Amino acid sequence: MIDDAIRVLAGDCTVIADGTDREEYRGRVTTVVKPDNTVLVHDVDGYQPVAWLTRADSVSSASDPTDGFTLVARKDAQTLRIAAHDQDGFAHYPASAAGTPLGDCPDCGGALVRSSGVHCVDCDARYGVPSDATIRDDRCNCGLPRMRVERGLAFRVCIDRTCESLDAAVREAFDREWSCPTCDGDLRILRRGGLIAGCEHYPECDTGFRIPSGVIDGECGCGLPTFDTRSGTRCLDATCDRILEPALEAAGDD
């Protein structure tokens, strides 16, 4: 998705940074203004800018063929002013977030990448994916990649939730599979911010547990399932302290 444009201004410039102290520079520099209003002024030395303002509250710029360009950026008590004595360039370029390549977009043929979610660098196609999802090489019938997500089982679904729903897959596997430890109700698979196993008697019973990233590998002493996660084994109830009871009981039987 083309998020915005990056502005690039180049030339023989005077750069004045006003804040706690006043600093002034002159040289042939290139100024980059990012879509979030971060301003970076680069010269030929090193990778660090000679002046910058991060996420400015306002950035205004103007270009005149005779007088060159000017740029003023402000944030709180800080001001960055740039005036060109000799203008080399003043342009806007399309920009998007950069990410790991995932192949071609089935909508436009552009590149699909993963950064925060999955998006196309050429069109407005964008798909939200869980941060723990693994994007696979195989493709759905719609042409998009599938992802592998662990929510009790390892599910393989399309990254487009309207095509193959992760929620529906988890619901089919675990809806009413577990009993509410607070009342006699069943735990339903619901989406409330994230996927949860919540009591069917809500709001009379507000018991609910976020379904962790991992696969079910046993039963806790409280009767709820345990999950094998990246950080170790845990109960569906993250606050439960009875997870070791089955193992201790088994050891006592020997």
- Cα torsion 244, 245, 248, 253: sign: negative
Q: Does the N-terminal peptide bond of residue 65 adopt cis geometry, omega within 30 degrees of 0?
A: no
* Mean pLDDT of each 10-residue bin along the chain, 254 residues long: 77 93 95 95 95 95 86 95 93 89 93 93 91 93 95 96 95 96 94 92 94 95 94 93 56 46
- pLDDT value of position 96: 83
Instruction: Give the pLDDT of residue 4.
Output: 76
The pair of three-digit structure tokens given for residue 239, joined into one six-digit string? 């606050």
Residue 167, SS3 per DSSP: helix
- pTM equals 0.72
Alpha-carbon dihedral 134, 135, 139, 141, rounded to 10 degrees: 80
Tokens describing residue 26? 């002159």
pLDDT of residue 244: 56
How many Å apart are CA 133 and CA 148, to the nearest integer?
6
The whole-angstrom separation of Cα 209 and Cα 224 is 10
Residue 248 tokens, joined: 């201790």
3-state secondary structure (DSSP) of residue 111: strand
Q: Which residues contact 44 (CB under 8 A, 6 or more apart)?
A: none
Task: Return the H-helix or E-strand segment holding 104.
Answer: strand 100-104
Q: Which residues pair with 32 in a beta bridge?
A: 8, 40
DSSP 8-state code for residue 212: P
In terms of DSSP H, where are the helices of the chain?
Answer: 166-174, 245-253
> Domain boundaries in the chain?
4-95, 100-171, 174-253
Number of Cβ atoms within 10 Å of the Cβ of 24 = 11
CATH entry 2.70.180.20 includes domain 4-95: yes
pLDDT of residue 65: 75
Q: What pLDDT sits at residue 250?
A: 43
What pLDDT is attached to residue 95? 85
What pLDDT sits at residue 243? 66
Q: What angle do CA 43, 45, 51 make, to 5 degrees?
A: 45
CA-wise closest residue to 15 among 88, 66, 85: 85
Distance, in Å, from the CA atom of 20 to the CA atom of 197, rounded to the nearest integer, reads: 53
pLDDT at position 19, please? 85
